[in-house]
Amino acid sequence: MQNVTILAPSPTLTVTVEDHPQGSEIHNHAGGQGVWQARMLRRLGIPVTMCCLLTGEVGRTLRHLLEDEDVTVQALTREGRGSAYVHDRRGGRRIVVDEEEGDPIGRHDLDDLYSAMLRCSEHSRIAVLSGPAGDDSIPADFYRRLTIDLRAAGLTVIADLAGERLRAVVDGQVDVLKVSHEELVADGLVSEETVPQIIAAMQQLRADGAGAVIVTRASEPLLLADADGVREITPPPFEENESRGAGDSLTAGVIAALSRGESLDEAMTLGAAAGALNVTRHGLGTGDAELIESLRQKVSVRDLAGDQTAPPEREGRVSPDGLAALITPEEQS
């Protein structure tokens, strides 16, 4: 079983107020995209190393919370204001009390974070690139260069990004890209949320450099485009309790299966099951591993008809389905 290294530039301290029979209950957790991915990976039994920048008092608290979840933390530390939020969920609706992105990441810290990610991913086969808490804290080219260098080191690179950072990892020839249909619209890659337009955008992203593209569509079936064509993945339907974190749970499920040597189609069933179950829960990036595995049987995968001509594979690319061939017998144990 492979260790997975996640770049989570600026984890967030989350404070959530919930109803309790005797009054209010206050929950403190580590949060943010990379953290939610790591949490689900740990639920599925995958060892995780998180490369991050921890800032000030918030950062010191986050380290303890992450280590309590059995995540290996490789962190740069600095003083200042860290990313945090306070949300009130009493009454069943999430109300934002306050949110803080934290201090910007300076040039020297960025250089150190880049080096740290290369160093702590040396013993992994999969690297995951997640976004920072603030839109402007890390330049897009950071992700392009990191994608190129990680792939040159022999890692499979998986990214869950949007906007300029999405373009950057595609330019770096990311192996697997996950994006939502809302992000495709916001980035101007589609003008309407129709399946033909989304498929055309996915194939264009592949032609531009991405190996495989996964698109989530809220409660609608997922779409996957790779060298084998386009598939529609339909998870079991559940009544939604909390939609936040579902996409990160899906990404983590895909990563977990790939790390075990499963094909990308097989990995999509685990990802779809993990994402579907997460919407039933208050906890973000959470779920019962045995139930997720059983829910895979209820996920359907079907080829979509129509033009599915795949862009030519670029020299040197290792496909996600080729991961199984790279895993030694020792790594499978």
pLDDT tens track for 221-254: 999 999 999 999 998 776 554 445 578 999 999 9
Across 59-73, 172-186, 272-286, least confident range: 272-286
pTM of the model: 0.87
pLDDT tens track for 29-48: 999 999 999 999 999 999 99
Assigned domain for 326 exists: no
Assigned domain for 115 exists: yes
pLDDT tens track for 64-79: 999 999 999 999 999 9
Assigned domain for 320 exists: no
Both tokens assigned to 144: 């392009």
Domains contained in the chain, number: 1
Both tokens assigned to 10: 């600026």
The more confidently predicted of residues 282 and 229 is 229
Q: Which domain holds residue 185?
A: 4-311
Q: Which amino acid is at 77?
A: T
Assigned domain for 316 exists: no
CATH of the domain at 34: 3.40.1190.20
Predicted confidence (pLDDT) at residue 1 exceeds the cutoff of 50: no
- Candidates 3, 39, 5, 43; CA nearest to 293 is 43
Assigned domain for 38 exists: yes
Assigned domain for 237 exists: yes
b/e 179-201 (16+ beta carbons within 10 angstroms → b): bbbebbbeeebbeeeebebbbeb
Both tokens assigned to 59: 């950062």
Predicted confidence (pLDDT) at residue 108 exceeds the cutoff of 90: yes
Please report the pLDDT score of residue 306 as a whole number: 53
Please report the pLDDT score of residue 245 as a whole number: 52
CB of 46 within 8 A of CB of 255?
yes
Assigned domain for 276 exists: yes
Cα torsion at 165, 171, 177, 181 (round to 10°)? 60
Q: Where would I find the H helices in 153-234?
A: 163-171, 181-186, 195-208
Decide the pairing of beta strands 23-31 and 156-160: unpaired
Mean pLDDT in residue range 271-276: 88
Please report the pLDDT score of residue 199 as a whole number: 96
- Binned at pLDDT 50, 70 and 90, residue 25 comes out as very high
Predicted confidence (pLDDT) at residue 279 exceeds the cutoff of 50: yes
CA distance linking residue 196 with residue 223, whole number of Å: 11
Assigned domain for 21 exists: yes
Q: Which residues lie below 8 Å from residue 9, measured CB to CB, with a gap of 6+? A: 34, 52, 53, 105, 113, 130, 131, 132, 133, 137, 138
CB of 239 within 8 A of CB of 307?
no
Residue 86 has, within 13 A of its CA and on its CB side, a CA count of 5
CB of 158 within 8 A of CB of 169?
no
